[in-house]
Amino acid sequence: MSKNSHGLLTGRTRHLARHHKPSTLSIRENIKSFKKGDSVAIVPKGNMKNIPHPRYRGRIAKVIDSRGSAYVVELKMMNATKRLVIPALHLQKV
């Protein structure tokens, strides 16, 4: 018998389930732009390759900088301040 994989999203697919097809993502979703200081919510969408870790789902963060088509966001979890690089597709203005 083979062993089960222990990848990043093992057992998490039910939490990331979407009620519409990934192909229905509009062009507007991919061409979002944010300014420094904007508050954004982290919402994993679409492609499984570049989504942020599920532990950050629904968190509110502040945009610090941009890197290419992605943004550097800063969020506070407990006493730690974390900086993440997340593509604009997975961010929503709050």
Q: For 54-80, what is each residue's pLDDT tens digit?
A: 889 899 999 999 999 899 999 999 999
Average pLDDT, the chain: 84
The whole-number pLDDT of residue 18 equals 59
Q: Is 80 exceeded by the pLDDT of residue 29?
A: no
pTM recorded for the entire structure: 0.76
- Kindly report, residue by residue over 30-59, the tens digit of the pLDDT: 788 999 999 999 988 766 678 888 889 899
Average pLDDT estimate for 9-34: 69
Per residue in 6-16, pLDDT tens?
A: 776 676 666 66
What is the Cα–Cα distance from 22 to 46, expressed in whole angstroms?
A: 5
Domain boundaries, the chain: 22-93
Fold of the CATH domain 22-93: SH3 type barrels. (2.30.30)
